[in-house]
């Protein structure tokens, strides 16, 4: 009886060990996806990438914005603010709708950094990792780290401003906002505050209770005109410093 019980315990321990091992393998595979350069397959995405590379090949780039649809929106609701703050700074928008960290990596490795030496690259990416692939915070952080490594390697003289992922959802207890905040808590460890500087301006978008206004982000994810103004104002002094304008 004792031997039978011990055998059962041994088998159970083996099963538990196997399950833990499988979970580790799945987590490692998921993290690898966030760090592996991968293109989106939609035609519009490829066309936008081709246009962006054509612009990069023209040179005269001092400022890069790197991100997803939130960054791409500088060309739409954010256009007046962009024209005021960035049109005269030879800025290029590398924001692509629905991009996750792996999509950004692919773009950076396929022409979007070729032959340029900008003064500053502004990076804000990660919210789509939480939704499209449901990456856990540590996985998204690994993807962001890979982007920073690529930038530091390819653009050794470029300063990098790493922004916290912007708040989403109407209230502070929004599940996806909580995921992003867990990523944001890890991001300062990726910045040396010399070449890579971390900045969190999220309080500018929220009221005292952590609520997000539809006036600032109409769909509680993408900034409207006011949101883009708050974004620009919130980092302007640091942008000037990092671009050696003051």
H/E element holding 241? helix 225-242
Task: Report if residue 5 sits inside a domain.
Answer: no
Task: Report if residue 19 sits inside a domain.
Answer: no
C-alpha span between 53 and 41 (Å, rounded): 17
Query: What does the pLDDT look like over 50-76, one tens digit per residue?
Result: 999 999 999 999 999 999 999 999 999
Task: Report if residue 105 sits inside a domain.
Answer: yes
Mean pLDDT for all residues in the chain: 92
222 catalytic? Reply is yes
Query: What does the pLDDT look like over 180-207, one tens digit per residue?
Result: 999 999 999 999 999 999 999 999 999 9
Residue 110 is predicted with a pLDDT of 99
Residue 32 is predicted with a pLDDT of 81
Instruction: Please give the tally of structural domains in the chain.
Output: 1
69 catalytic? Reply is yes
Q: Which of 99, 102, 135, 222 is catalytic?
A: 222
Residue 21 is predicted with a pLDDT of 46
Task: Report if residue 3 sits inside a domain.
Answer: no
Query: What does the pLDDT look like over 226-243, one tens digit per residue?
Result: 999 999 999 999 999 999
Task: Report if residue 187 sits inside a domain.
Answer: yes
Task: Report if residue 16 sits inside a domain.
Answer: no
Q: Which of 69, 77, 98, 174 is catalytic?
A: 69
Q: Which residues lie below 8 Å from residue 127, measured CB to CB, with a gap of 6+?
A: 68, 70, 165, 166, 168, 176, 180, 221
49 catalytic? Reply is no
Task: Report if residue 25 sits inside a domain.
Answer: no
Query: What does the pLDDT look like over 131-170, one tens digit per residue?
Result: 999 999 999 999 999 999 999 999 999 999 999 999 999 9
Task: Report if residue 198 sits inside a domain.
Answer: yes
Which value, in Å, is the radius of gyration of the alpha carbons in the chain?
21
State the residue range of the domain holding 90. Answer: 36-242
Q: Which of 194, 209, 219, 246 is catalytic?
A: 219
Domain CATH for 66: 3.40.50.1110
Query: What does the pLDDT look like over 30-53, one tens digit per residue?
Result: 558 999 999 999 999 999 999 999
pTM of the model: 0.88
């Amino acid at each position: 009886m004792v031997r039978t019980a011990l055998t059962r315990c041994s088998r159970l321990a083996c099963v538990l060990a196997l399950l833990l091992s499988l979970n580790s393998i799945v987590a490692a595979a998921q993290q690898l996806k966030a760090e592996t350069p991968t293109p989106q397959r939609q035609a519009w995405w490829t066309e936008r990438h081709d246009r962006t590379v054509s612009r990069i090949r023209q040179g005269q780039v001092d400022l890069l914005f790197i991100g997803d649809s939130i960054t791409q929106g500088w060309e739409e609701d954010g256009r007046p603010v962009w024209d005021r703050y960035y049109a005269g700074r030879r800025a290029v928008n590398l924001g692509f709708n629905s991009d996750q960290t792996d999509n950004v990596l692919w773009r950076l490795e396929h022409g979007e950094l070729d032959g340029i030496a900008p003064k500053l690259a502004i990076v804000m990416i990660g919210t789509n990792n939480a939704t499209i692939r449901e990456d856990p915070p540590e996985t998204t952080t690994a993807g962001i780290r890979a982007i920073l490594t690529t930038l530091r390697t390819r653009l050794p003289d470029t300063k990098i401003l790493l922004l916290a992922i912007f708040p989403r959802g109407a209230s502070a207890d929004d599940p996806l906002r909580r995921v992003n905040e867990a990523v944001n808590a890890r991001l300062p460890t990726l910045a040396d505050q010399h070449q890579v500087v971390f900045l969190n301006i999220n309080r500018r978008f929220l009221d005292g209770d952590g609520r997000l206004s539809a006036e600032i982000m109409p769909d509680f994810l993408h900034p409207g005109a006011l949101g883009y103004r708050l974004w620009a104002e919130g980092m302007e002094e640091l942008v000037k410093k990092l671009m050696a304008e003051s």
